[in-house]
Structure formats: C-alpha cells, structure tokens
Amino acid sequence: MKKGVIAGLGCGAIAIIGLIVIVLIGGSYAYTFNNTAVEYEADAKTAWSNVESAYQRRADLIPNLVSTVKGYAAHEKETLEGVIKARSEATKTTIDVNDLTPEKMAQFQQAQQGLSGALSRLLVTVERYPELKADKGFLELQSQLEGTENRINVERNRFNDAVNVYDKHTTKFPGKLLANLFGFEEMARFKSAPGSENAPKVEF
C-alpha cells in the first residue's frame, strides 16, 4: 500500500515538474518572441521615419527650384502651379507610424507619385531655356534633387527590408499565434508603380 502511494506521489510529482518545465519553456519563448518583435517593429518604424525624412527633403527643395525656374520662365505658369499644388498634396498626406495600413500606404504613394509627375513635367520645360540650364543655382538644385531621389529609393528599400524581417518573425508559426495575442499586426510595404522600378533621373 505504502509503495503504491509513494509511486503515485512520484508520478504526480513528475507530472507537476513536467508541467512547470513546459510553462517555463513556453514563457521563455513568449518573452523572447515579444522582445524580438518589439525590436524588429522599432527598426521598421525608424526606417519609415527615414523614408519620410527623404521625401521631406525633396519637398524642401521644390520652393527654391520653382523660384529659380520662374526667374527664367515666368510664363510657364500652369506647370509651376502644378508643382506647387502637387507638393502641397504630398506634404499633407502623411501616415502615423503606428498605422501603416496598405490603404494608407497606397494613398501616400499616390500623392508622392503625383509630385514626381509634376516635377518631371517641370524639368521637361527646362530644356527650352538654355540660360536656366546653365544657372549656377539651378545646377546646384539639380544635383541636390538627384541625390534626394536616390536617397528616397534607398530608404524605401531599407524600409521594405526592415518590414520583411518583422513580418517574417510575426507571421511564421507558432509566432503568429503569439503575435495575435500580443497585438503585433502585419505592416504594409512600398509597392512599385508601373515605370517606377528605378529612381527618377534628373538630367538636363
């Protein structure tokens, strides 16, 4: 009788110890998963801030660009106003870093592409003004704008890379279960628009 009780207690103790071990392992995994997800999410948010900074740099160059072009081609009123309007639309279309949904990302991209198109049309008109093309201030703006377009492309790619790391961590099983539990949601990426696979060329 005593041996049976002892054996029963032994089995019960082993079961309890086993349960404790499972809970500890599970808790450790959840803790590690959460901390890593927080880190990856923070990296993606930082990358997004860099994207916004690059786009803002482009927006900041436009007033001087428009002013310089206007000095040589004041009658290109419609084109100049188109750039100013597109810039206004692009700068007011922002996304909260904590709400990067596919829909809002699409709106952001559309506004930025609108500005890119307006800039392209403006720069085409420059071809008709040799004196403007030789203007020292314009040449400096050209160089800065070209560098900014390249930076935008680089930062967009870095953002997509950071989001990819985060999304893989939070969507693979069993991490996906914990991601839902802890409130980690999939983040939207930049998608290339037709003809925008490469950074726009700013050449004159």
Name the nearest CA neighbour of 95 among 82, 83, 112, 118.
Answer: 112
Q: Quick check: 159 and 54 in contact, CB under 8 A?
A: no
- Written as six digits, the tokens of 204 are 């004159």
| CA 73/CA 165 separation, integer angstroms | 48
Residue environment code for 33-50, b if the CB has 16+ CB neighbours within 10 A, otherwise e? bbeebeebbebbbebbeb
Query: Is 141 in contact with 120 (CB distance < 8 Å)?
Result: no
pLDDT in tens, 146-183: 999 999 999 999 999 999 999 999 998 888 888 888 88
- Going by pLDDT thresholds of 50, 70 and 90, the confidence category of residue 194 is low
**Amino acid in the structure at residue 90:** A
